[in-house]
Amino acid sequence: MLIKKIDENLKSAMKKHNDDVVSVLRMLKSAIKNFEIQKKDEATDEEVLKVIQKEIKQRRDSIESYLSNNRPESAEKEKTEVAILTAYLPEQLSDADLTANVQKAIDETGATGMADIGKVMAVVMPQVAGQADGSQVSAKVRELIAKNG
């Protein structure tokens, strides 16, 4: 399970005194534990991936905020955390693979205009879970619907 891998990596980072990794993994374990408390059950690997993606998204939002407020040192810290968290995600889809998945979903749903974005997203997102960011998928869906329509 993914949680065991996180635990093992946390122990290893503690032994090596890698404070950045220890800090991020403790935060991640806390986020997973909070999720489990809300769910009142143990998290599955798929749910852990969603928690990791949520944490990455929060950090990316923080990076933008720090950069717009001229705080590059804080942005760099967040970038480091994103890199550590990204290691737990499955390999990300290439642009070509994402395009193929989105085009297939457009064909399946018969989407012809921007009003059909939700239908296409509902088909694509479960297929690419953990392999592509939602905003990236949404942008690709919009691009291809505009091109096809």
pLDDT digits (tens, 9 = 90+) for 54-100: 999 999 999 999 999 999 999 999 999 999 999 999 888 999 999 99
Q: Which domains does the chain have, with CATH numbers?
A: 2-86 (1.10.1510.10), 95-148 (1.10.10.410)
- For residue 148, what pLDDT band results from cuts at 50, 70 and 90? confident
For 86, the token pair is 């990204």
Averaged confidence pLDDT in the chain: 93
CA distance 71 to 52: 24
CA distance 149 to 131: 27
Specify the pLDDT at position 51: 95
Q: Which amino acid belongs to residue 132? A: A
**Which segment of 15-29, 73-87, 131-145 scores lowest on mean pLDDT?**
131-145
For 125, the token pair is 């997102």
- Helices and strands (H, E) in the chain, number of each type: 7, 0
CB 49 within 8 A of CB 89: yes
* Portion of the chain with pLDDT greater than 90, in percent: 78
**Of 24 and 126, the one with more pLDDT:** 24
CA distance 84 to 15: 17
